[in-house]
Amino acid sequence: MPAFTREIIKTAFLALLEEMPYSQITVKKLVEKCGINRNSFYYHFEDIPSLMEEIIREQFDEIVKKYHSTDSIVEGIDAIIESFTQYRRAVMHIYRSMKREVFEQHLMNTCEYFVTCYADNAIRREDMDGLIRENRELIINYYKCVCFGLMIDWLESGMKEEKARSLHVIFKLRVMTAENIADALRDQVD
């Protein structure tokens, strides 16, 4: 029963986030929505921020789990966009809240994961033995920041669909650039 109650609380929280900004959600509103008492909420969660952080972490973990073997930055970013779009209003309410740093940290980590997968697969595919560790890290850091920045720009636009389509094209172009950078770095080492 406790795991079931925990999931009910999470579902109700997401439903409330679809209806109102994060700052307006209280434990009272949440337990009323769930049909449970306050003690049940506090048995499972320390407070609303800890609940929000768990949900954010789980959502990003689910994206990574679903696309764990991706060899494309584009596929990874499309996965993030698809997941965010499913809970558009909730994502925007979290993003615009005072707790947005938690959301941003998980977004940055997820961007880094997809970029690292891509870099590792590209290195194996191209057999770029000359690409030393420092250069690999440089490429990963650069593309992680590019991905993160473009995702933030999309969020700032209110998650507009046309902006998401533009992101897809931008990331496809960036991938071609990444391959050119890797080749240049390999040639530099040779």
Domain boundaries, the chain: 1-45, 48-189
- Rounded to 5 degrees, what angle do the CA atoms 74, 146, 131 make? 80
pTM exceeds 0.95: no
* Fold type of domain 1-45: Arc Repressor Mutant, subunit A (1.10.10)
Give dist(CA 26, CA 10) in Å, integer.
Answer: 13
Residue ranges of the chain with per-residue pLDDT less than 50: 125-127
Alpha helices in 67-160 (DSSP H): 73-86, 88-95, 100-126, 133-156
